Amino acid sequence: MIDLTDITKNYRMGEVEFTVLSQVSLAVRKGEFIAIMGPSGSGKSTLMNIIGCLDRPTSGQYRFEQREISTMTDDELAAIRNGKIGFVFQTFNLLPRFSALKNVEVPLIYSGVPARSRKERAAPLLEKVGLADRMQHKPSELSGGQQQRVAIARALVNNPPLLLADEPTGNLDSRSGEEILNILTGLNQQGVTIIIVTHDKDVAARCKRILHLKDGRIVSDEAVP
Amino acid sequence: MNFYETFRVAFEAIVSNKVRAGLTMLGVIIGVMAVILLVSIGEGARVYITKELSGLGTNLIVIQPGKTTTSGGFHPPSAGTVRKLTYEDSLALRRRAWLLTDAVPIVLGTGRVKYQNQGRDTTVIGTTAEFERVRNLFVDTGSFVRQEDVDTKAKVVVLGRKVKDELFGEESPLGKNVTLSDARYRVVGVMRKKGMSLGWDVDDVVFIPVTSGQELFDTDAIFEMIASTPRAEDTERAIAQIKDILIRRHAHKEDFTIVTQGAMLETMNTILNVLTAALGGIAGISLLVGGIGIMNIMLVSVRERTREIGIRKALGARNRDIMAQFMIEAMTLSGAGGVIGILLGVGLALLIPVFVDVLPTSVSAWSILMAFFFSAAVGVFFGVYPARKAALQDPIQALRYE
């Protein structure tokens, strides 16, 4: 599903150019559940952004479902993010002015789904993550765990084959974190490919494959027994 | 993303920040209001003056002594070359210029009118019987100056309404004698009330025969002649006729000036259109300032919502979706401000003449259209930069923005 070949990402800061990712190659098959680990500055967020089509590599090839990503226009990338990839962030990133239901509807707005069917598609997902009675609440009226569940519902609303989670439990207490991981595990069992970036060994232990990054390189890639 | 959705998002953003949106709109409201108000004041002045000028009579041609519209060059003062216009000139025109309905001589001065121990300084006009018809000023009671009064230099006077009220009050003045600069005149008529016209009180005046006027002011000249033609199309030919006759009588010199009512109207129109445009332009500056206010607030708004932009982009918003969202927000602000400004401007323009009767206003459709068009344009113009800034945000940077 995902084929990264010799992906390199350089950033320029003033006169100095430094390499964040160096010749990373990675293949992800459909249905995998992967944790990306590594110390701060190892390049795991950058790798995540490239996989998520938020960023372009400086060099190398990125094929997503057999399509070359690195040469796509901004609009084409937006369409991939909208339909093929769901994002779950550490800080939830919900729109503060909107209700839970409206937040879940946002990706549907950009895929041109009319208002009535948006509600019909968003509501069942909130029920699925256990927030049937919180649909009209604003993010500020929800707990961290509830906000993250709204974010997961939002990530799933377009039925994307890939879910990217960047420290999804980083801002949660352990019980809420556990709930979120259970939801993610359940989704993976239903066939959604999931990639999680995390520091947390316990989180990584729930995955089926763990990658370690260091100084922009993959230093280990092992299956969880 | 369809238009309706974009509009709703923009609207929600505005509603969620009511005070700020209101203050931003205020700039446009005041701008649009000022444009409409000032343009309607300018228009009002134009309409008023046009009406007053037209009210003087129809197709008037005024002939004044002296050549005032010679063009170019320096003219040394040459004494005695200008021949005055005379009563006889007006008779000649009346006899021979068949395109004219009338040619009325005017002698103008001021004098003190006294009755018993009441006195009043007023304008004295010496003229002939046709003045009534040409100038649209009519006698109310008694009669106007008649031709035989002119022929006999009769000491008769027709009083303007105000002069009559001052000197006689409720008493009928007909047949009474008044003193006009030490000569006794018999009152033969009282003019109809007319009021102010172009800043001149038409009721504060007395009329005497032109010949008596010449005697009173000790002159053999006249101040001017007022002629008129039955149809506007005849004006050019009538002018030619007047010139022809007068030049022959004036030793082949064109030592007089002919001004037509049409030319006066045209000149006034031109001046007042410039005035209106200038007023509109000044008001337009405040609209511009309002637009800058919108740009300012939109820039703040874009910055504040950097993270929202990042989120929306991560969720699949294209650059143009973000651009549209902020453009529509700016245009909604300026459009709503424009509509409110138009309502206020038109309302005030209609109210002003009710309270201030020296300030006529005229609300014209074009000023409303122009104000609305400009306020919308201000939204587009000052919205583009912030909206573009929003649209071109890097999604990763935007998501990290705190």
| Residue B1 binned pLDDT confidence (cut-offs 50, 70, 90) | low
How far apart (Å, rounded) are the C-alpha atoms in residues B37 and B346? 7
How far apart (Å, rounded) are the C-alpha atoms in residues B42 and B146? 42
pLDDT tens profile A59-82: 999 999 999 988 899 999 999 999
**Which of A79-83, B123-127, B159-163, B355-359 shows the lowest per-residue confidence on average (mean pLDDT)?**
B355-359
Q: Which residues pair with A34 in a beta bridge?
A: A195, A209
Strand order in the sheet with A67-68: A16-28, A2-13, A59-64, A67-68
Least Cα distance to B55 among B195, B205, B258 occurs for B195
Query: What is the predicted pLDDT for the residue at A209?
Result: 94
B136-153 burial, b at 16+ Cβ within 10 Å, e below that, comes to: bbebeebebbbeebbeeb
Q: Do B396 and A106 count as a contact with CB atoms less than 8 A apart? A: no
Kindly give, in sequence order, each residue whose CB lies less than 8 Å from that of residue A123, ignoring residues fewer than 6 positions away.
A101, A135
B-chain CB neighbours of A112 within 8 Å are: 1-2
How far apart (Å, rounded) are the C-alpha atoms in residues B108 and B231? 28
B-chain CB neighbours of A109 within 8 Å are: 1, 5
Q: Do A110 and B318 count as a contact with CB atoms less than 8 A apart? A: yes
Query: What is the predicted pLDDT for the residue at B68?
Result: 60
Q: Do B321 and A75 count as a contact with CB atoms less than 8 A apart? A: no
**Which of B184-188, B191-195, B199-203 shows the lowest per-residue confidence on average (mean pLDDT)?**
B199-203
The alpha carbon of residue B34 is apart from the nearest alpha carbon of chain A, in Å, by 36
B-chain CB neighbours of A49 within 8 Å are: 396
Tell me the whole-structure pTM to 2 decimals.
Answer: 0.74
B191 to A175, B132, B187, B213, B216: CA distances (angstroms)? 102, 10, 11, 18, 21
How far apart (Å, rounded) are the C-alpha atoms in residues A184 and A124? 17
Query: What is the predicted pLDDT for the residue at A188?
Result: 94
- With an 8 Å Cβ cutoff, is B317 touching chain A? yes
DSSP letters along A38-53, please?
--TTSSHHHHHHHHTT
A-chain CB neighbours of B15 within 8 Å are: none
Q: Do B308 and A95 count as a contact with CB atoms less than 8 A apart? A: yes
The beta strand positions in B243-284, using DSSP E, are 256-260
User: With 90 as the cut, is the pLDDT of residue B49 above it?
Assistant: no
- With an 8 Å Cβ cutoff, is B311 touching chain A? yes
How far apart (Å, rounded) are the C-alpha atoms in residues B130 and B142? 16
pLDDT tens profile A143-161: 999 999 999 999 999 999 9
Q: Which residues pair with A222 in a beta bridge?
A: A210
- With an 8 Å Cβ cutoff, is B266 touching chain A? no
Rg, C-alpha atoms of chain B? 33
Report which secondary-structure segment, H or E, holds B337. Answer: helix B319-355
| Fold classification of A30-54+72-223 (topology level) | Rossmann fold (3.40.50)
Q: Do B314 and A54 count as a contact with CB atoms less than 8 A apart? A: yes
**Which of A127-141, A181-195, B131-145 shows the lowest per-residue confidence on average (mean pLDDT)?**
B131-145
- With an 8 Å Cβ cutoff, is B392 touching chain A? no
Strand order in the sheet with A162-166: A85-88, A162-166, A193-197, A33-37, A209-214, A217-223
Best residue of A11, A45, A50, A95 to probe chain B, by most B CBs closer than 10 Å = A95
Tell which A residues from 149 to 168 touch B, by Cβ distance under 8 Å: 154, 158
Assigned token pair, B230: 């039955």
| Residue A99 binned pLDDT confidence (cut-offs 50, 70, 90) | very high
| Residue A84 binned pLDDT confidence (cut-offs 50, 70, 90) | very high
User: With 50 as the cut, is the pLDDT of residue B71 above it?
Assistant: no
- With an 8 Å Cβ cutoff, is B389 touching chain A? no
Task: Kindly state the average pLDDT of the residues B367-375.
Answer: 86
A-chain CB neighbours of B395 within 8 Å are: 54
- With an 8 Å Cβ cutoff, is B319 touching chain A? yes
Q: Domain spans of chain A?
A: 30-54+72-223
Complex-level ipTM? 0.93
**Which has the higher per-residue pLDDT, B54 or B303?**
B303
- With an 8 Å Cβ cutoff, is B7 touching chain A? no
Q: Do A87 and B12 count as a contact with CB atoms less than 8 A apart? A: no
- Provide the total of helices (H) and of strands (E) in chain B, helices listed first: 13, 12
Q: What is the mean pLDDT of chain A?
A: 92
The alpha carbon of residue A180 is apart from the nearest alpha carbon of chain B, in Å, by 20
User: With 90 as the cut, is the pLDDT of residue B80 above it?
Assistant: no
